[in-house]
A and B are shown apart, each in its own frame.
Chain A
Amino acid sequence: MARTTAKRIANIKNFAIFGLIPLMIFALVLVTPFIRGIFYTFTDWNGFEYEEFVGFANYEASLADETFWKAIWMTFGYVGASLVLVNLVGFGLALLVTIPMRGANILRTAFFVPNLIGGVILGLIWQFLFDQALPTISENFNLPIFQENWLLKPDTAFWSLVIVTVWQMSGYMMIIYVTGLMSIEKDVLEAALIDGSTGWRTLTQIKIPLMASAFTISLFLTLRNTFMAYDVNLALTGGGPYRSTELISLHVFKEAFGFGFFGTGQAQAVLMFLIIAVAAITQVIISKRTEVQR
């Protein structure tokens, strides 16, 4: 008996040393604000204090807000386009840099570097590119495509956001896909080769199914990051022109801090959380089904 008690105490001690501090931080900076945030949505909170409970009024007002819906559809469009392009480019790059060739490692690093630049700086760099560099190049070489500053028209500003996102995130996804490709056993590939499988067939029927978990991770990360995108949005377009490229995060920020509507802003943040949670869970469930057990 004494021995098991001692063991239990040792266990608790170990947990306290390794687990308690992270758990406390998690509770303090994530769980507490989250619960308080939900609580505030049912009050007439003005950013400083609340006086009374208002039921679902903040949610009703949010759902009746046209600009909120506009931000949601804009976000869905942005997530959809980015999801496809980031992963296509990321996977393409992964295939490219796993070809045995000189300089593959340098290429890997080069493709990954954009991911190390913070979103705000990235936004400013691309603002300059769209505003000055690309129009100048286009004019000199008589290319019609970038002659106008892309950030000044709603459609092109949207695609600017997507382009910068792809540029930033595909390098990261590439690393995950590279890991996936490298984890496929050589014997499987050799067997396929002996059976006469061509490159395309090997890719679609052997490699991709065997590395499906890399797709699950990449799709999840892309989905989550693009749904929550804020810094690139703020620095690149600032939601402009005329509030046409405001994604949900930026919209929530403006609703609360710019307009002082803290109740509805918080309610919209909660709605945003629900949307992202549902989308992410759905995606993971679907992706998991396609993974094969070895």
Chain B
Amino acid sequence: MAIKRREFLKIAGLSVAAGLGGFSAFTGLRSGILEASQYVRDPKELKASRWGLVIDMSKLNQEDIRRIMDVCHKKHNVPAIPNPKDEIKWIWPESFEHSFPGQESPYMGDAIKHQPYLVLCNHCDNPPCVRVCPTKATFKRADGIVMMDMHRCIGCRFCMAACPYGARSFNWRDPRPFIKEMNPEFPTRMKGVVEKCTFCYELLAVGKPPACVEHSNGGIVFGDLKDPNSEIRKIIATKFTIRRKPDLGTLPSVFYVVSDKENKGGHEHVG
């Protein structure tokens, strides 16, 4: 890849400033390529002003939910830690009454009350986790994705106290021994940092949809919430959707189409 001298100097300068100068200069000169790929965006990259998801629970059965969870966790090297105290999860099912506390009623049938909903980070437009982070280790990107910088996180867990959705997990111990099959394409984490769903930023960057969307058989739709012509906006405009705890003003980017069916995939309940 041709690189202008000016750009080379800029990248070199930045690398030195980041304290990585020695390393990147060495590897760069030796192999004849600079690590410039991270500065050149993939032309296929998917872009939006504000990414959002619509999760249509009427289209997802138990099997879909299980598959989506597995794919996401496998792809992102999320460890399977048996002790619930130390558990790490990015996307998982919670029953209606637990996903939308305060929305249930005593007369609601058990099937509806216990119906599983997929929950994950809401990538809020007004994220409390970003507001409280003392190091900007969690931050909001221009496209609305609430990101984590695992290398900057000091593990204070202020973000976990601030998140009203319980979307964040902390590495109470070294997660690596609990990763059954390592995905070399995605970094693993170390103990002592917080992690969560990152909207598959790494897939969007190469023009692919988030893993949960891809494996949902059409049950999850993603798109640009700021684009009135996007598919996601059309769904939200025409179907009745709800968001988790909208009264808190966090402006979640994840919308749910409430299922009007009783547990499509049988009556296996989620606590």
Partners in one complex: no
B residues near A (Cβ < 8 Å) are none
**Residues of A in contact with B (beta carbons under 8 Å apart):** none
